[in-house]
Structure 1
Amino acid sequence: MIIDLQAPDAPRDIRAEICIVGGGAVGLSMAVQLARAGSDVVLLEGGGRSLEQASQALHVGTNAGRRFDNIEVGRYRVLGGTTTFWGGQVLPLGEHAMGPRPWLESAGWPIAYSELEPYNDEAFALLGLEAAERDDGPIWKQLKVDPQIGEGLELLLTRWVPTRNLARHFRDDIEHRPNLRVVVHANVTGVEMCAKRTRATAVNAKTLVGTALKVTASDFVLACGSLETARLLLHPAADGGNLPWHGNIWLGRGFADHINGPVAEVKVRDHAAFHALFDSAYLGGCKYYPRIRLSPELQAKERSLDVSGEFLFDTAVSQHLDNIKMFIRSLLDGRRPDNILELPRHAASVAGIAAPLAWRYLTSKRSYKPRNANVRLSVSSEQWPNPQSAVRLSRAKDAIGMQRLEVDWRLDGREIKTLGLFARRVRDAFAANGLAEIVIDPALEREDPLFLDTLNDCVHQMSTVRMGENAATGVVDRNLCVFGTDNLHVAGQAVFPLAGFANPTFTGIVLGLRLADRLTKPSHS
């Protein structure tokens, strides 16, 4: 059921078995999984059921490091969180990214990929992707395409969820399951601890007009995103006492995002082969999107970061098509489209490619890209682990009295070598097989560190409350419990010690499902 804390009859005290803070991808997935297993769950979401500017204003922060455009973009204080606006692309982090990579000079994951892998199927099913083929091989076979593109490179396929907004996807559970209470407009302001400071006893929340709520529970899970989770844990205790995690050197440090942006122009030579490899495929009701990566073997040999690339196709109608997609997504998500008055103009501009687009889909189950498109190679790379990259509290306060965030995003500089290696490998492979001529940006070609300034973050905030073997290497343990506490947990990409290149949301959800499984085991109670 949904409770609006702004309603006059809203409760002021709630008792539950498990309390989850954050109604985004990870929090909602955990809450639904736990409730379906019979647990009594309360989920606290700071925003409402639709996006509100006053709630969004709580995310305003400052930037103290390199350009970080998305401190407020990509963070949505609304039921459904970022899933109300994301594209819906999912990709497991993978064995290589979670395995030992000593050349990165940083403590890696304290758990093996094999410990997460059993939960991948649960996550796919929970997200409505139970029909999706997990292995890329059968997909390429069905498409009659050989995915071998060159030594040191691998072609992979991502999957896309059918319903992007998880608040809509889980609507029946959220509205009708009696053991799942979802409280909206409940902005959590602090965690109460027992006298010994080893157990969380309650969390406090309030609305923008000051209506207060106290939730007591046996277990607490912070799943409100990397920036907001760090912000909450960095705050001083309401009673002025010490909190066990405040002395942890990793709290807020090691902040990471994916480095994203175009690195080369692409002049396609063999259009048929190129589009067979890189156009999206639609099979069995699922979308599969091709991306290219450096092979793990080459990464180990060259001591590089984990990096992938995709091809961007820009045409005269690209913007119009994107606006039509945004319009449709807004309607599906129950939002009023921002671009409704411009829709006729966008539709008229796209009409010219409607026939070939439909023909390509009907005959090949592939997306259509015009031959005259301007094609660019864009990268998404993890960054070198950097303890100096951090988030911290500023002196400014928001409307509910919480200190705002200051983001000091920093790169190491060695990322340029990975990007250069990747771009050259793609260039050489595509030249050898006649696919395309790859014209690398001259600054990247000479590995000028200033080229990194042209790239942006990917709205994949991670690693502010990292997982470690002990408190010297992380803020939470292998079971996602905050060091020094017995029952305060963190779920999501905030706990990633190393990022890999994959979009982090799916692995964040998988980590949450693993935690949910642990919280429901008799041995835990």
Structure 2
Amino acid sequence: MDSIDKPIRVCVHRGMSIYNLSELENDCSRSTAPLCVIGAGIAGLLFARRVAKKGQRVIVVESGYASYDPAIHALNEIEDPAERYSRALTGRYRGLGGTSSRWGGRMIPIGKHETEARPYLQQQRWPIAVDPLESYHDEIEKIFKVGDGPFRGNVISDEITSKYFPVEDKSLLNRWAKVPSFKNCNVFTLLKDELKELENIEIWLGATVCEFKLDRAAGRLSGIVARNFSGKQLEVSADRFVIAAGTIETTRLLLLMNAASDDNAFRSCRVLGRYFQDHLKSEVATINRRNPSLTNRIFGYRFLNATRRDLHLELTETAQRGDAVASAFAYVAMDLAESPLGYIKKLAHGIQKRQVDPNDLWQASKNMGLVARSAYWRYLRKQLFVPASIDLHLMVCAEQLPQWSNHIRLADKRDRFGVPKAQLEWAPTQTDERTFRSAISHIAGYWERSGMDRVCPLEWSPASSDPALPIIDNAEACAHPSGSTRMGTDPAESVVGPDLRCHAVPNVSVVSASVFPTAGSANPTFTIMKLALWLADSHLQGAPRREHAFVPSEITGSVVSSHEVPAPVARDQFGAA
């Protein structure tokens, strides 16, 4: 860091330094490190912590602050001409911890078969094997303080679970997601004590990346410029950059980098921004609670080894192959908004966000009977108590398959920094409709086979009951965006390689669900965390480095690595000779 800039630390420890760009004495600060991470969310902090523990200096640049800021949050606004995507502002958050500050915390791995070739869907296998990622499983669970144990099989052995959720069903597989407690959801809160001991981490808050500095001769990114609303700026130079800013923002940043190169950096890549996908969810039925206590026993959240376990009822591989459809899973949602139980939940969420509403505390205190009964169910029955007045909704989430027309590009409209916003062209398709219909059919059969149709029958929604009413018309995104910087081995058909480095700008890596070729039927965060740790270890182990960008062959026009060009030519790697 340039000594003349004298930044003010807002968090002073004997190790980690956290700076607030708005508190700079001068208008500009400069900092240099071997590594720069863009984004201090789950992926960015896990990566930075890993490499810093091994003695490498890393700078983390974060747009948000330690707590929610509405002006910063407004930077998540996108252009959505069709007004179809509803989760740009409700599923993404900037700041220390990123979206984990509001995250529900559902942790479950992607199914292995969902990363393999699925010829019945014309989907190729992922270019990386997922088995090696399993080595990070236990470490992540320890960070979030959830219990160990499997996600499937005889996970929960009580009589009710064994009776109504058979392990070997032909159509539906019951898995049990792990959910951290509210206080253990925010990754920065969990890692803060450990991070503050690391002298080689430097975190900048209120620093939104607005500009990219390119070494055009080498075809590499040499620096970034981040700004705040007052015009102060931070310039960071680094050997390597890791973008960990969530799917939509990560894609926008790569598009901005391409624009900075006069659209030459990714000129050989056809797919940057393409194949955007999200899980689609729809309420397909209400569960009849004719026996409130029994339905509570069947569907109430379980607690195993002090960890909440949520039902994740997904289409088996056999069912998917038989119907030639994508993955889907069902879960039970509870309508807590108008219940006193809702105040208890809001109070817990407030503790997670460090923003406790005194009214929630007061309302909870007025319902001590409910609190006592909840405690009985929680500690003796190891389940959440769900009052009879609360409706149980059966939700289905469908995997949205990659679709060329669903894409992100730079909009004509600009944000408060004068930088183009992301514009999203996105809509569900008939392929998604078929996945929903398959899931509904198999759920109906499952209800009969398990006997649940006799004790808690499903009251299907009109669209679920009538094929003439498209389910996708009212389905909404789950805030699990992915796919728009997909990984692959062909630089023309993928943005990053199996090593998560950009084919076109190889000193830039991406760790985000945006690299997922397909979404599968699991919440993406668990897999993102594994990729972040794997990328850090690959860097530390000295994975082979691709020093230069891919350039068009002078002879054939095909894409080749720069070290294969027969003779050195004085040229701009991001442009013409």
Question: Which TM-score bucket, shorter chain as reference?
Answer: over 0.9
In structure 1, what is the equivalent of residue 473 of structure 2?
Answer: 453
Match of 1:159 among 155, 164, 178: 178
Match of 1:394 among 408, 411, 415: 411
Cα 1:2/1:446, change in 2 over 3 Å: same
Larger radius of gyration: 2
Deviations 1:374-424 (A, max 9, x none): 222101111132110111111111111211121111222122222122122
In structure 1, what is the equivalent of residue 347 of structure 2?
Answer: 327
Cα 1:342/1:49, change in 2 over 3 Å: closer
Counterpart CA distance in 2 for 1:144 and 1:179 is 52
In structure 1, what is the equivalent of residue 320 of structure 2?
Answer: 299
Q: Are residues 1:59 and 2:76 paired?
A: yes
In structure 2, what is the equivalent of residue 19 of structure 1?
Answer: 36
Q: Letter of the 1:458 partner, please give it.
A: C
In structure 1, what is the equivalent of residue 435 of structure 2?
Answer: 418
In structure 2, what is the equivalent of residue 361 of structure 1?
Answer: 378
Q: Are residues 1:441 and 2:461 paired?
A: yes
Counterpart CA distance in 2 for 1:235 and 1:306 is 33
In structure 2, what is the equivalent of residue 175 of structure 1?
Answer: 196
Counterpart CA distance in 1 for 2:257 and 2:313 is 45
SS for the counterpart of 1:12 is strand
Cα 1:269/1:417, change in 2 over 3 Å: farther
In structure 2, what is the equivalent of residue 119 of structure 1?
Answer: 136
Counterpart CA distance in 1 for 2:67 and 2:446 is 47
Cα 1:514/1:88, change in 2 over 3 Å: same
Counterpart CA distance in 1 for 2:432 and 2:83 is 14
Q: Could you state the TM-score of these two structures normalised by the residue count of structure 1?
A: 0.92
Q: Are residues 1:134 and 2:153 paired?
A: no
Deviation (angstroms), 1:332: 3.8
SS for the counterpart of 1:234 is helix
Counterpart CA distance in 2 for 1:241 and 1:313 is 50
Q: 2:101, 2:352 within 8 Å by CA — same for their partners in 1?
A: no
Cα 1:490/1:393, change in 2 over 3 Å: same
In structure 2, what is the equivalent of residue 344 of structure 1?
Answer: 362
Deviation (angstroms), 1:214: 1.5
Deviation (angstroms), 1:367: 1.2
Q: Letter of the 2:224 partner, please give it.
A: V
Deviation (angstroms), 1:449: 6.0
SS for the counterpart of 2:117 is coil
Q: Are residues 1:484 and 2:504 paired?
A: yes
Q: Letter of the 2:228 partner, please give it.
A: T
In structure 2, what is the equivalent of residue 508 of structure 1?
Answer: 528
Match of 2:208 among 177, 180, 187: 187
In structure 2, what is the equivalent of residue 93 of structure 1?
Answer: 110
Range with greater deviation from structure 2 (513-522 or 134-143):
134-143
In structure 1, what is the equivalent of residue 265 of structure 2?
Answer: 244
SS for the counterpart of 2:234 is strand
Range with greater deviation from structure 2 (421-430 or 323-332):
323-332
Q: Are residues 1:253 and 2:274 paired?
A: yes
Cα 1:83/1:72, change in 2 over 3 Å: same
Deviation (angstroms), 1:481: 0.6
Q: 1:307, 1:382 within 8 Å by CA — same for their partners in 2?
A: yes
Q: Could you state the TM-score of these two structures normalised by the residue count of structure 2?
A: 0.84
In structure 2, what is the equivalent of residue 469 of structure 1?
Answer: 489
SS for the counterpart of 2:157 is helix
Counterpart CA distance in 1 for 2:69 and 2:297 is 43
Deviation (angstroms), 1:90: 0.8
Deviation (angstroms), 1:478: 0.5
Q: 1:431, 1:437 within 8 Å by CA — same for their partners in 2?
A: no
Q: Are residues 1:223 and 2:255 paired?
A: no
In structure 2, what is the equivalent of residue 2 of structure 1?
Answer: 18
SS for the counterpart of 2:491 is coil
SS for the counterpart of 2:74 is helix
Deviation (angstroms), 1:319: 4.0
Cα 1:128/1:389, change in 2 over 3 Å: same
* Structure 1 stretches lacking a partner, 5+ long: none
Q: Letter of the 1:139 partner, please give it.
A: V
Q: 2:282, 2:471 within 8 Å by CA — same for their partners in 1?
A: no
Q: 2:78, 2:88 within 8 Å by CA — same for their partners in 1?
A: yes
Deviation (angstroms), 1:521: 0.9
Counterpart CA distance in 2 for 1:420 and 1:183 is 48
Q: CA RMSD in A?
A: 2.4
Range with greater deviation from structure 2 (428-437 or 491-500):
428-437
Deviations 1:226-263 (A, max 9, x none): 11111111125686544422542211111111101211
In structure 1, what is the equivalent of residue 50 of structure 2?
Answer: 33
Deviations 1:164-209 (A, max 9, x none): 1112111123434211111111111233222335222112211121
Q: 1:467, 1:496 within 8 Å by CA — same for their partners in 2?
A: yes
Q: Are residues 1:212 and 2:250 paired?
A: no
Cα 1:457/1:237, change in 2 over 3 Å: closer
Deviation (angstroms), 1:95: 0.2
Counterpart CA distance in 1 for 2:538 and 2:201 is 18
Cα 1:352/1:452, change in 2 over 3 Å: farther
Deviations 1:274-332 (A, max 9, x none): 544432222222221112111112111211111111122337x7543233322332234
Deviations 1:431-473 (A, max 9, x none): 2332132232232333336321211111111111111121232
Counterpart CA distance in 1 for 2:29 and 2:86 is 38
Q: 1:66, 1:409 within 8 Å by CA — same for their partners in 2?
A: no
Q: 1:64, 1:409 within 8 Å by CA — same for their partners in 2?
A: no
Counterpart CA distance in 1 for 2:143 and 2:318 is 33
* Structure 2 stretches lacking a partner, 5+ long: 1-16, 546-577
